[in-house]
Every structure is written in structure tokens, then in C-alpha cells.
Structure 1
Amino acid sequence: MKVEFAQLAGRDNGTAQNLDRALAAIAACAVDTQLIVFPETYLMGFPTADTVADYAEPVDGPAVQAIVQAAQERSIAVVIGLAESDGDQFYNTTLLITPDGVALRYRKTHLWPLESEMFTPGDRYATCLWNGVRVGLLICYDIEFPETARALAQLGADLLIVTNGNMDPYGPTHRTAIMARAQENQMFAMMVNRVELGEGGLLFAGGSALVDPFGTLLFEAGRDEGQFSVELDLEQLLAARKDYVYLKDQRIKLPGEVIEHNDGTRELMIP
């Protein structure tokens, strides 16, 4: 399976510019690419408490619908983040978009301290089936909490995709965390980060990465912009789980109600 990283700089409160860059990246994908992943809240960049109401959009808003149309035109899946509005609440959200539309929505459950003044935390973890692979989503700070990836593993995830907005000096923290989350759950993990200086003075650390189910780092980007192509050998999932399966041997299960939907989506509600 060929996937691409869109490790790009973004503009905070810059929906038009970021959307144009996202559409250009989708158009530039190789013919045989099946999935492209963008950084955290890439469509709008990071708003502030004063600007979030002006820039956040619902999932059926114009920015997301433009990505849906591009996914349809290229017959490709897209993972991209946005500041989502839903009624009077705002969420840091990542979507898995396929040519059929939005297949999976995840609202960040662990908010960085600066986010808590503008976003509401999500209340569930979810996976869906895509091209025969069960996919789960996390966002940035989430991966510093082992329970988040374990929740997705309990829902059957084979591929963890992390939209990231990690900044200096915390790049090494996420490098360590993404390798651990893949190894301890015997799943692929793909993390795509932003680069360059944001308007809030944060220097984004890059370091987008692909890790196999053994915890081996297969690819790591530097600190510059780039659109990188990598291959996932899905047979490594079987190899990693051949002799032992952590989920079968674990003594403590995470609590929460599991909901099975008719479309193949599974959710674990946070108690």
C-alpha cells in the first residue's frame, strides 16, 4: 500500500491558503497512491480563542467539501485536520475522507493546555474499515498517553494515523511515543507533522514518521517541507502478531462502551 506524507508549513487562521496547498498536494500524488495525510488542523491552522469562531467550520462546510471533491476526482483517501464547529462547540478534529465522503471523524481527546480555552475535548475513540485495513486516528498530544492507542487497538486497529502539530523542543518526545505506540499495539503508525514558524511563534518540528508493527522506524522526515511517499507491507501485521498478541494477553482492559455501527465503524465511548 502506497501512502504519502504532506509535511507542510501552514498559515494560522489561513483557510484559503492552506486549502489551496492541500488541494495542490492531492493533485500531485502519484497515480498509485492510496492515501495522503496532512498535519493537525491543517485546513485552518491553529486559531486562538479570539478567532476560532471566525475560522472553524462544520464537517459539511466548504473547506471539507472541497477536499471530498478532490478525493473523488483522484480516487484517493485523505486524512486532514480542521477546527470543527458544531453548534456552539468547537473541536480539534481529524477526518478520514474517501471518494465516498467522510469515513471517520475523530475529535481530539487530550487537549494541549493552550487549546483548552477554545476547544471541547472529544468523548470517544473510533476505527473504520478502509481498503481492508482497520484505521484509527489520533491527534498530536494524544499519543503521549498510551491508553489512546490501546483504545484503538481494542477496536481492532491495524493502522494508526496521527495528525501532528508538534513544536520545539518536543520533537524527540513524539519520536519516542510513536514508536512505542506502534510496538506495544502491534500496528503500523503514521505521524505527519507541520514545519516552519507559526504565527503564534511556535517552531514546528517536522519529523513525520512511519513505524512498523515491531516498533521499527521505517521512515523519518527532516525539518523541511516535503511530500514523501512510503510503502506499507501489510504482511508485517501478521508477522508481528504471529508468536504473541498483546491484546489477548493483557490483564487490564480499558473501560467504556463499544458501539458497532452498520457501516463497519467501531467506537469506544470514554466513561
Structure 2
Amino acid sequence: MQIELAQVAIVDGALAINLATVLEKISQRCIGTQLMVFPETVFSGFPDADNVAVLAQAVSGEMIAQVCAAARQYEIAVALGFAEVSDDQFFNASVLIDAAGEIVLHHRKVHLWSADTGIFSPGDCFTTAQWNGRQIGLLICFDIEFPESARALASLGAELIIVSDGLMHPHGVVHQRALTARSMENQVFSILVNRCETDAAGESFAGGSMVINPYGDIVLQANNGASTLTAQLDFSAVHESRKEYCYLDQRQVKLAMEEVDIGNQHTQAQRIKKS
């Protein structure tokens, strides 16, 4: 499977500019690419309490619809993060859109970073879906610093975890360490795409988008500038990594989760059991 990592600079608050960047990247996809991945909150950058109501988009709204149309036109799947509004609540969300322009997976960030608190509500599900013959899961940024997030996806059969990220300097190494561990301990592929460059407030984003194999090896990594990288994923590596031992089969402690029916026959979900 050929994938592309679209590590882009985001102009905070500039919806039209950022959407144009996403659509341009999709139109410029490499021949043979089946999936293109973008960073966290790619349309808006990080909103604050004063502007989130203006910047957040409905999953059924016009901006997502334009990306769906581009995915369909260029016959490519797209994963991206965005600020979502739903029933007067705001979520830090991501979607996986297939090459037919259909949303096959929708995740809301469960673990909110301190800057998210008071702006976004937390999600309460980890979900996977079948896409292109593979079981896929989505996570967002801080989610990956909690082993339970990736383990929940792996327990639902995930072979690939896609992470939309928005990590700043000097913390870039944190997600490199975290995601190599998540990939190794669940024996899955992981893709992380971060934003890059410096925003208007002077915050410098770490870039470093990466692909990690089921052994926890980084097989491709970007620098901290705007770039588009291409990688090939051979999913036989998932099976090979589990032949001698499989962490999922040998675990002795199970997560306190419950199965959830979210009304989509293609999607499986587990909800956190609140204590």
C-alpha cells in the first residue's frame, strides 16, 4: 500500500487558505498513492474559546464535503484532523475518507491536552473500520501518550493506526518515543503526520512526521519543514511480527471497555467505562 504524509504549515484561523492547501496536496498526489494523511486541526489551526464557534466545522459540513469530493475526483483516501462542532459541542476530531468520497471512520480525541481543555469536549470511543482490506484506527496527538488508546484499537483488530498530530518544539521526541512503543507493543503499523513551521504566536511546530513498522522501527521520517513523503506498507509484516509471539494473545490484563453499536456496519467501536 502506498501512502503519503502531507506535513504542512497551517495558518491559524485561515479556513480558506488551509482548505486550499489540503485540496492542492490531494490534487498533486503521486501516482499509485492510496492514502494521504494530514495533521491535527488542519483547517483552522488550534482554536481558542473566543473563536472555536467560528472555526469549527460539522462533519457533514461544506469543508469536509469538499475534501470528500476531492478524494472521489482523484481516487485517493484522505485522513485529516479538524475542529468539529456537533449539537453545540466542540471536538478535536479526525476522519478517514475513502476513495469514493465516503467517511468510513470518525474519531474524537479522547485525551485532551491542557490547551484543549475548556475548548473541546473529550471523545469517549475508540473505533476501527475496514478500508482497502485492512482494519484501520485513528488517534489524535495526546491520545498516543496513553497505551490504552492504541491497545483499544489493536483489540478491535487494527493493523494500521493513523495519527493526526500538532506537536510543538521542544516536545517532538515525545511522540517519536510514544508511537514507536505503541507500534511495537501492539505489532501494528503507525503513521503520524505533524504540522510544521512557526505560527503567528511564535509557536514552532516539530514536524518529524513518520512511519513506524510493527517492530517499532521508524522506517521513514520527515524533517521539520513542509514536505510530502511517500512510503510503501507491506502488511505481511503485521503477521510476521506476531508469528513468534503476539502481545495481544499473551496479555493478562484486559481494558475496562464495552462494545458500542454506532450504527455503521463497517465500523467497530469500544467505549471507555468511566469509573
Post-superposition offset of 1:264: 2.5
* 1:67 alignment partner AA: V
Q: Is the 8 A contact 1:8 1:39 kept in 2?
A: yes
Matched, 1:65 2:95: no
Tell me which moved more, 248-257 or 199-208. 199-208
Q: Is the 8 A contact 2:104 2:266 kept in 1?
A: no
Q: Is the 8 A contact 2:70 2:101 kept in 1?
A: no
Q: Name the residue aligned to 1:268.
A: 270
In angstroms, what is the RMSD of aligned CA positions?
Answer: 1.0
Question: What does 1:49-128 align with in structure 2 at a 5 Å threshold?
Answer: 49-98=49-98, 99-128=100-129
Question: What does 1:126-145 align with in structure 2 at a 5 Å threshold?
Answer: 126-145=127-146
Give CA deviations for 1:108-162 in whole Å, capped at 9, x if unaligned.
0011101111000001000000011100000001111111100101111000000
Cα distance in 1 for partners of 2:43, 2:96 equals 14
Q: Name the residue aligned to 2:39.
A: 39
What SS does structure 1 have at the residue aligned with 2:127? strand
Q: Is the 8 A contact 1:2 1:230 kept in 2?
A: yes
Cα distance in 2 for partners of 1:240, 1:141 equals 26
Cα distance in 1 for partners of 2:264, 2:39 equals 30
Aligned length: 271
Query: Residues 24 and 262 (structure 1 numbering): CA distance in 2 closer, same or farther, change over 3 Å?
Result: closer
Cα distance in 1 for partners of 2:81, 2:174 equals 21
Give CA deviations for 1:165-209 in whole Å, capped at 9, x if unaligned.
000111011111111110000000000000011233321000001
Q: Name the residue aligned to 1:202.
A: 203
Q: Is the 8 A contact 1:211 1:219 kept in 2?
A: yes
Q: Is the 8 A contact 2:69 2:101 kept in 1?
A: no
Q: Name the residue aligned to 2:21.
A: 21
Query: Residues 167 and 67 (structure 1 numbering): CA distance in 2 closer, same or farther, change over 3 Å?
Result: same
Cα distance in 1 for partners of 2:111, 2:90 equals 14
* 1:267 alignment partner AA: A
* 2:54 alignment partner AA: D
Cα distance in 1 for partners of 2:248, 2:9 equals 37
Cα distance in 2 for partners of 1:92, 1:262 equals 21
Post-superposition offset of 1:262: 5.5
* 1:97 alignment partner AA: I
* 1:62 alignment partner AA: E
Cα distance in 2 for partners of 1:46, 1:199 equals 12
* 1:82 alignment partner AA: F
Post-superposition offset of 1:93: 0.3
Q: Name the residue aligned to 1:252.
A: 253
* 2:82 alignment partner AA: L
Q: Is the 8 A contact 2:19 2:43 kept in 1?
A: yes
Q: Is the 8 A contact 1:35 1:77 kept in 2?
A: yes
Q: Is the 8 A contact 1:43 1:80 kept in 2?
A: no
Unpaired runs of at least 5, structure 2:
none
Q: Is the 8 A contact 2:34 2:76 kept in 1?
A: yes
What SS does structure 2 have at the residue aligned with 1:92? strand
Q: Is the 8 A contact 1:209 1:218 kept in 2?
A: yes
* 2:152 alignment partner AA: A
Cα distance in 2 for partners of 1:86, 1:262 equals 18
Give CA deviations for 1:21-55 in whole Å, capped at 9, x if unaligned.
00000000012100000000101111111000011
* 1:154 alignment partner AA: S
Cα distance in 1 for partners of 2:264, 2:65 equals 24
Q: Name the residue aligned to 1:230.
A: 231
* 2:250 alignment partner AA: D
